[in-house]
């Protein structure tokens, strides 16, 4: 393979074709004349504005916390101590965030490390304050720490979440993105481009590709997933210069490795262009990945899934406590729903159905009855309906078997509330894969069987990512991702997102 650092220049005809097919989109806001013909970089990268807004948000968080410290008689701290803490808190808070990479570009707006930085900075600040007061023999009221740390965590996380939502909205309309050139083999470039196009929130807007393993005419006027192909990987540097790329994504090429990849990284460093390299691993969360140097080689270490041992016990304990609290709080609602079902249609209040749980064990899953008593008998004649949404999991948008009360219960997932009893009995978890029917499990392929490694959930990624609107492949992918990447924080995030999904009532039928 030709060395990238000494790549040959591209023909004027090919360069003109690329210019024509990679012109900048028209700006949605009025401004100075565009320099799209030259494909110039934006005068201010997206992360500069985001970091500035993050600084303002963090300062506001610290100021509000300082105001609370001054306004409330926190503990036994004298006024002088509270004033001193309030004055130094904003500066110390920003310093702690900087130390814990709270403003590092590679984490901003993308990974959960941005949230972790906020939590770690606040907890470390509390630890330093307690340790410092002990070492210096300075009386710092513990009440101050118990107020400041939680406020910084809560307000800081809320502020960063609002910033990221704003960034996602801007990226969805094409703003605050990075011009990206994808390099790789013809078999791997297409899937990478497709995934990046389906995730605008990542901020990588593909404007060109350099692909090996293809044959073309002299003008090279080909496309991959609607993206113009500039040439072969040997011509990558000319594509980067011509398109003023900000990111180069290497999708995988047996020839683009070792020395060639290292020299590409050196050349990109001179151009202030970021380099990202696909690992070839699918659906593995970042916390499971780390670099492990061995024999002078940077090896990617993939941790085993965490759903085992003590973590399984912790998950079970959290499930039981939360399920008990939710059951007690929902008793009046449960009673009202039971009365409404009995008044609406004849039949039992609860519907029991055999489902498959962890390790293939079956159990009787509870639901509020939302259909007529003859629903199972009518299933066969409805299973071939044209508007069934999922080829493996039978769902029908306008199922005639659903009662009036049942339609309301399904829209807001209230029919699932009795499954809290299944959680208390240890048959289900609050969060996990969807509990399958025995007939569905009988048709599982080898990959799908992995869903049965954990307890099924009352809610899960399928619930917050489309519910019944998902097809089988999407549902399976989400369930497998959850099994492989479970964490307690992920469970809490899904529970919060479930509340929003249920209130919207979208995808439930």
Range of the domain at 146: 46-171
pLDDT in tens, 46-103: 888 899 999 999 999 999 998 888 887 665 667 777 788 888 889 999 999 999 988 8
Q: According to the model, what pLDDT value does residue 8 have?
A: 45
pLDDT in tens, 460-509: 887 787 655 667 777 888 888 888 888 887 888 888 888 877 776 555 54
Taking residues 27-38, what's their average pLDDT? 37
Do 353 and 407 fall within a single domain?
yes
Do 58 and 79 fall within a single domain?
yes
What is this structure's pTM?
A: 0.63
E-strand spans in 160-240?
A: 178-185, 204-212, 223-224, 227-231
Do 407 and 324 fall within a single domain?
yes
Do 330 and 408 fall within a single domain?
yes
Do 191 and 101 fall within a single domain?
no
Distance (Å) of CA 186 to CA 194, 214, 265, 436: 13, 7, 21, 38
Contact 211, 184 (CB under 8 A): yes
Tell me, yes or no, whether 477 lies in a domain.
yes
Do 325 and 225 fall within a single domain?
no
Q: According to the model, what pLDDT value does residue 388 have?
A: 47
pLDDT for residue 186 is more than 60? yes
Q: According to the model, what pLDDT value does residue 56 have?
A: 94
Q: According to the model, what pLDDT value does residue 506 have?
A: 57
- Kindly tell me the burial class for residue 118, based on how many C-beta atoms sit within 10 Å of its own C-beta (0-12, 13-18, 19 or more): buried
Angle at 65 (CA atoms; ends 135, 491), nearest 5 degrees: 95
CATH number at residue 216: 3.40.50.720
Taking residues 112-123, what's their average pLDDT? 87
Q: According to the model, what pLDDT value does residue 32 have?
A: 36
Do 318 and 461 fall within a single domain?
yes
pLDDT for residue 451 is more than 50? yes
Domain count within the chain: 3
Do 160 and 197 fall within a single domain?
no
Return the percent helix, strand and coil in the chain, to nearest 5: 55, 15, 35
Contact 125, 149 (CB under 8 A): yes
Least confident segment among 236-245, 299-308, 366-375:
299-308
Do 162 and 181 fall within a single domain?
no
Q: According to the model, what pLDDT value does residue 283 have?
A: 61
Distance from C-alpha of 455 to C-alpha of 373, rounded to nearest angstrom: 29
pLDDT for residue 125 is more than 50? yes
In which band, very low, low, confident or very high, does the pLDDT at 31 lie, cut at 50, 70 and 90?
very low
Tell me, yes or no, whether 321 lies in a domain.
yes
Taking residues 340-365, what's their average pLDDT? 91
Where do runs of H (alpha helix) occur along 72-182?
79-99, 113-135, 142-172
Least confident segment among 194-198, 301-305, 425-429:
301-305
Tell me, yes or no, whether 34 lies in a domain.
no
pLDDT in tens, 270-315: 888 888 888 776 666 666 666 777 766 677 767 777 666 778 888 8
Domain end position, chosen among 254, 283, 302: 302
Domain end position, chosen among 125, 149, 171: 171
Tell me, yes or no, whether 40 lies in a domain.
no
Q: According to the model, what pLDDT value does residue 335 have?
A: 94
Do 194 and 154 fall within a single domain?
no
Tell me, yes or no, whether 509 lies in a domain.
no
pLDDT for residue 325 is more than 90? yes
pLDDT for residue 18 is more than 60? no
Cβ contacts of 121 within 8 Å, gap of 6 or more: 93, 96, 97, 99, 100, 102, 152, 156
Q: According to the model, what pLDDT value does residue 42 have?
A: 45
Tell me, yes or no, whether 41 lies in a domain.
no
Tell me, yes or no, whether 31 lies in a domain.
no
Taking residues 143-162, what's their average pLDDT? 88
Do 328 and 476 fall within a single domain?
yes
Tell me, yes or no, whether 32 lies in a domain.
no
Closest CA to 50 of 178, 142, 149: 178
Distance from C-alpha of 406 to C-alpha of 375, rounded to nearest angstrom: 12
Do 333 and 368 fall within a single domain?
yes
Cβ contacts of 63 within 8 Å, gap of 6 or more: 90
Domain end position, chosen among 302, 328, 354: 302
Angle at 193 (CA atoms; ends 282, 5), nearest 5 degrees: 100
């Amino acid at each position: 393979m030709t060395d990238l650092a000494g790549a040959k220049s591209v023909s004027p005809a090919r360069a003109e074709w690329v210019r024509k097919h990679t012109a900048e989109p028209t700006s949605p806001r009025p401004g100075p004349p565009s320099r799209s013909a030259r494909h110039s970089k934006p005068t201010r990268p997206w992360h500069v504005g985001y970091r500035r807004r993050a600084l303002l948000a963090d300062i506001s968080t610290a100021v509000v916390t300082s105001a609370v410290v001054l306004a409330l008689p926190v503990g036994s701290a004298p006024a002088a101590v509270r004033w001193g803490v309030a004055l130094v808190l904003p500066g110390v808070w920003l310093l702690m965030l900087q130390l814990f990479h709270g403003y590092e570009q590679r984490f901003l707006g993308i990974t959960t490390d941005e949230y972790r930085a906020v939590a770690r900075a606040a907890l470390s600040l509390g630890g330093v304050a307690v340790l410092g007061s002990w070492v210096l023999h300075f009386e710092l009221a513990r009440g101050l720490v118990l107020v400041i740390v939680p406020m910084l965590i809560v307000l800081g996380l809320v502020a960063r979440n609002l910033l990221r939502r704003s960034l996602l909205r801007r990226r969805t309309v094409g703003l605050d993105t990075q011009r990206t050139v994808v390099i790789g083999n013809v078999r791997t470039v297409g899937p990478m481009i497709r995934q990046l196009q389906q995730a605008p929130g990542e901020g990588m807007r593909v404007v060109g590709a350099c692909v090996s393993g293809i044959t073309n005419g002299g003008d090279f006027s080909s496309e991959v997933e609607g993206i113009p192909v500039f040439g072969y990987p040997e011509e990558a540097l000319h594509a980067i210069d011509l398109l003023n790329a900000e990111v180069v994504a290497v999708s995988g090429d047996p020839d683009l490795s070792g020395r060639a990849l290292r020299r590409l990284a050196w050349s990109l460093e001179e151009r202030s262009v970021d380099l990202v390299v696909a690992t070839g691993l699918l659906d593995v969360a970042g916390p499971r990945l780390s670099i492990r140097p061995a024999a002078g080689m940077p090896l990617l270490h993939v941790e085993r899934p965490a759903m085992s041992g003590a973590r399984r016990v912790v998950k079970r304990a959290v499930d039981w406590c939360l399920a008990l609290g939710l059951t007690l709080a929902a008793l009046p609602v449960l009673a009202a729903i039971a009365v409404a079902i009995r008044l609406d249609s004849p039949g039992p209040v609860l519907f029991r159905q055999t489902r498959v749980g962890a390790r293939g064990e079956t159990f009787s899953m509870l639901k509020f009855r939302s259909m007529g008593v003859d629903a199972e008998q009518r299933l066969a004649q409805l299973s071939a309906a044209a508007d069934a949404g999922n080829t493996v999991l039978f769902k029908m948008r306008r199922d005639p078997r659903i009662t009036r009360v049942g339609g309301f219960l399904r829209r807001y997932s209230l029919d699932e509330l009795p499954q809290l009893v299944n959680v208390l009995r240890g048959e289900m978890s609050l969060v996990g894969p969807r509990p399958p029917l025995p007939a569905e499990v009988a048709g599982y392929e080898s990959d799908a069987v992995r869903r049965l490694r954990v307890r099924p959930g009352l809610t899960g990624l399928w619930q917050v990512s489309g519910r019944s609107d998902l097809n089988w492949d999407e549902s399976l992918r989400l369930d497998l991702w959850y099994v492989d990447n479970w964490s307690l924080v992920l469970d809490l995030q899904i529970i919060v997102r479930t509340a929003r999904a249920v209130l919207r009532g979208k995808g439930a039928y």
